[in-house]
A and B are shown apart, each in its own frame.
Chain A
Amino acid sequence: MFDVGRVWMLIGRVGLVTVVVGGAIQIGKIGLVRLPDGISLPRTQWEFGNPSTPDWQPLTQTRMFRSGGGLLLIPGREPAAVSSGPIDLDIRDYRNIRLRFQVRSPADGVLRFRLWSVEGARWVAQQVSAAGGDTFEEIRGDLTWGWASGERIKEIIFTPSLVPQAVMVSDVELEPANGLMLAALQDLVSSFPGVVLAERAVTINTVSPPSIKGRSIWAVLIPMVFVMAAIVSLVPDMSTEWAPVAGRIAWMSIVGVWVIGFAFLLYYQAVALKTDLVRFRGWDRSVAYAAVDGAPLYSDLADAVSRLPPGSGVTFSTDQGGFSGMILKARSRYYLYPRVESGASFRFHYFASDRRACHEVMPDAAVISEAERFCLFRVPQ
């Protein structure tokens, strides 16, 4: 007897399996995209031919262009140089630095590392040479000299040719000390996502996943869970001998993946707690405010307010531009309330980085007080 209902049910189940497995494959494919830098492990590989790789920063009046092959550096009067910008990597985790670039004429260049430890910062230079010609050359710089020091690499500056000439840089990579497999495991157990949880405001929007080489492990695990869940759901309809065993294995796999994820949650939160306890050490409130503001803004504002006549209003300004400047303004508005008002007789100017003379900031205003990071003015009405 032809059971129409059963056929429809079968078609429905096959359709669902197709949707679920197809969706899982799509998720896996999207997951192969590198995670955004804010929540990813620190970048150690730059493929400048890939548009999603961020640029390095040109130095010494170097003009920099992005082309299909990488970063084209055109020198000014001085040799072309580029900087990685701020990075934060433990030198012991890397064996070599690999560089791939092209210069026309034979060239000697230099690779400089800004290293940091609790004893302070220092620069270390390393010479590199290229034969020159029409093809890209690959060179490797040894990093094992730094292993004993336990320092952190804070910036890399690359000058490919000490004679000014155009250079095309295609790749920079810090090669892991432990080989690829162990490095992947090192990525996986990295405490970095926990540190980020404590230190970066962006984690209120998104928590970093455990990752390997900048790719979320969920790109592999989620498709697997989809397939396992499909198996668990199909098993009751099957009458084969192995079906219950397959169902049980699939079910245990799902539980296993969840337990792994939960363990990472615990691990990252524990790291975040440790980081927070160090950051906000000793329950000292001014230290805590300085830690969250990135500068002793709170104590500076309190100092400035103590120098103002009682009840007087004040406006806030800062040299800091961009998003950081906006954040400083918002924080100062909050800390100074109810003192902040537009058109007030006093102005508090804050130097987040480079200090200028107060009279350069407001030539027409009288300086009533100044300190290491601020000037307090009486504003002409």
Chain B
Amino acid sequence: MTAAWAVCGVFLAWGVGWIWLASLRHISMLERLGLAYGFGIMWISLVMGVLAWTGLPVSPVVAMPMIIGFPLGWELLRRLRPVRIGPIDPVSQDEMASQVVSRLAGRDAWWWTLLACLMILWLIVAVRAAVAPVHVSDALSTYAFKGKILFSERLLSASFFQTVEPANYPLAVPLQEVWIGWLVGAWDDWAIKVLFPSYLLALMFLVYGFLCKRWSARTAMWGTAFVAGLPLMFQHAQEGYTDLPLAYFVLAGSVLMSYYAMLRFPSWLVAGGLCAAGMVWTREDGAIVAVVNGILLLAVELREGGPQARSTWTALGLYAVLPTAVWSIWSLVKLHFGVSSNLMGYTGAVDLVSRVIDVAIAFVLALFLYGNWLILWTLFIVAVLWYSRLTLTRESVFLVWPVVGYLGIVAVLCVRTDLFQYVVGGSVLTRLILHVAPLAALGTVMVLGRAWGLAGAPPATGNAG
């Protein structure tokens, strides 16, 4: 019964996100499915965070009406409006079902084999997540512990920040675990892990949806397997860390931003901003990607309209408003409770050359020689070096350059700050790389797919894969 309620919590998050995404235009069913989970679960944890910030009790009685009520009200309003603003192509349910069936029947053996492999892998990690309680160090003593306290105390207090460690980490994942606790009716070390395989599943839906809109189904499935086939990502899908959720929001945010770059609908920009809010609400280092995306957006806008164009600054404002608000509110909360940031301090004078060499070796080991990424980074480097022009297209700029920017900033931080000690001789670097690895894989697939002529013909319409 506990498991059923936990799964119900995930479905509810998916449903809430599904409703919120109704206003996004030109979105395929699979993309909507992929984005819905992230949007839903982020909405839930943001509402809970706002309640905690305002001093209201973080309890189901107070939060549920807001979590469910707002999206339902929005949906009602949308349906009552004379002009339907939803994006779904006006096809009947029967038509859609028959389209899906006929398309599935037309898939070749490669497509089915790859799908079977991905499904088996996902099922394996889902079962692994289900049989074990949350237990790996930070998953238990940092994130689940915070969730357990919030579940029990129902408010953010000074004693909360004195009890937990590190106190400055954002609360998205602990609050999402509280959400599952509410549905289950008790704090359960098994049930809360249902969140993480779901992030992986949503990520796979999103990638396949994105690719099959452009390429043939078989090539899209190969691309999805390439993006999803990252061993460290599967390992994270069975434990309650924040790295996979951040990787999901980084990927989703960049996909939305690249749609904005291509289609120029402001709604994509707001959605991209919500993903950026998801990044900073999940982990502090998510702010790096959010900022890099902002800089890229500014560059794209300046190229389009120049610095005088009002749209340039409006676009930047639309994107930045949500992540800035979340970051600011969380900073105020920390300030109020006297929580200092554990952002790494400047290390002062060091032997720069030897540090650069140490960091370079740590990067080579982490990117290529452990079992985390297969051949991802080899092909990514080839894509960036060889086909740099293709990486600068509207379609690819947000898929490739946030990765370069993030890794570049991490490398500088490793050389110049105390992060060095966690990276050289430790394994933290691979988790930092995980934040952008799925995005790097998608960028690589897009660039090399075009450059090497791998992309087949796209399907006639983009609503099903």
Contacts and interface: CB of A to CB of B under 8 A. Distances in A.
A265 B234 contact: yes
A232 B452 contact: yes
Contacts of B140: 330-331, 334
Nearest to B133: A288
B231 A268 contact: yes
Contacts of A35: 369-370
Contacts of A219: 369
B283 interface: no
B371 A201 contact: no
Interface stretch (B62-70, B89-97, B267-275, B381-389): B381-389
B395 interface: no
A292 B229 contact: no
B298 to A, nearest CB: 29
B398 to A, nearest CB: 23
Given A269-B234, A272-B128, A283-B131, A226 B369 contact: no
Contacts of A207: 231-232, 235, 370-372
B452 A265 contact: no
B226 interface: yes
Contacts of B431: 204-205
B312 interface: no
A3 B145 CA distance: 67
Interface centre among B132, B149, B231, B386 (most CB of A within 10 A): B231
Contacts of A221: 375
Contacts of A205: 426-428, 430-431
Interface residues of B, number: 57
Nearest to B125: A269
Given A233-B451, A251-B452, A266 B141 contact: no
A333 B148 CA distance: 11
B370 A26 contact: no
A10 B252 CA distance: 38
A218 B241 contact: no
A201 B144 CA distance: 16
Interface in A190-214: 193, 197-198, 201-210
Nearest to B226: A258
A201 to B, nearest CB: 5
Interface centre among B152, B190, B366, B427 (most CB of A within 10 A): B427
B152 A338 contact: yes
Contacts of A283: 131
Nearest to B452: A232
A292 B190 CA distance: 13
A288 B382 contact: no
Contacts of B381: 20, 23, 226
Contact of A337 (B149, B231, B361): B149
B371 A264 contact: yes
B136 A204 contact: yes
A184 B413 CA distance: 39
A14 interface: no
Interface in A11-44: 16, 19-20, 23, 26-27, 30-31, 35, 39
B328 interface: no
Interface stretch (A73-81, A273-281, A314-322, A369-377): A273-281
Contacts of B225: 262
B121 interface: yes
Given A207-B372, A230-B382, A30 B365 contact: yes
A111 to B, nearest CB: 34
Interface in B143-185: 144-145, 148-149, 152
A251 B131 CA distance: 41
Main secondary structure of the interface of A (DSSP, over half): helix
A71 interface: no
Interface in B103-145: 117, 120-121, 124-125, 127-128, 131-133, 135-137, 139-141, 144-145
Contacts of B372: 206-207
A359 interface: no
Given A30-B364, A207-B371, A330-B141, A202 B427 contact: yes
B239 interface: yes
B346 interface: no
B236 interface: yes
Contacts of A333: 141, 145
Given A20-B382, A205-B428, A330-B140, A269 B121 contact: yes
A265 B372 CA distance: 9
Contacts of A285: 133, 190
B378 interface: yes
A30 B369 contact: yes
Contacts of A208: 370-371
A225 B379 contact: yes
Interface in A219-272: 219, 221-222, 225-226, 229-230, 232-233, 251, 254, 257-258, 261-262, 264-266, 268-270, 272
A327 interface: yes
Contacts of A262: 117, 225, 229, 374
A273 B135 CA distance: 16
Interface in B213-272: 225-226, 229, 231-232, 234-236, 239, 241
Contacts of A62: none
B369 A334 contact: no
A19 B384 CA distance: 13
Given A20-B381, A334-B141, A292 B135 contact: yes
Nearest to A282: B131
Interface in A332-380: 333-334, 337-338
Contacts of A26: 364
B368 interface: yes
Interface string B350-370: 000000000001001110111
A222 B375 contact: yes
Interface of A: 16, 19-20, 23, 26-27, 30-31, 35, 39, 193, 197-198, 201-210, 216, 218-219, 221-222, 225-226, 229-230, 232-233, 251, 254, 257-258, 261-262, 264-266, 268-270, 272-273, 276-277, 279-280, 283, 285, 288-289, 291-293, 327, 330-331, 333-334, 337-338
21 contacts: A19-B385, A20-B385, A27-B364, A27-B368, A39-B370, A204-B239, A204-B241, A205-B431, A206-B370, A206-B430, A208-B370, A222-B375, A226-B382, A229-B378, A232-B452, A254-B375, A258-B375, A262-B117, A264-B371, A330-B137, A337-B149
Interface of B: 117, 120-121, 124-125, 127-128, 131-133, 135-137, 139-141, 144-145, 148-149, 152, 190, 225-226, 229, 231-232, 234-236, 239, 241, 361, 364-366, 368-372, 374-375, 378-379, 381-382, 385-387, 426-428, 430-431, 451-452
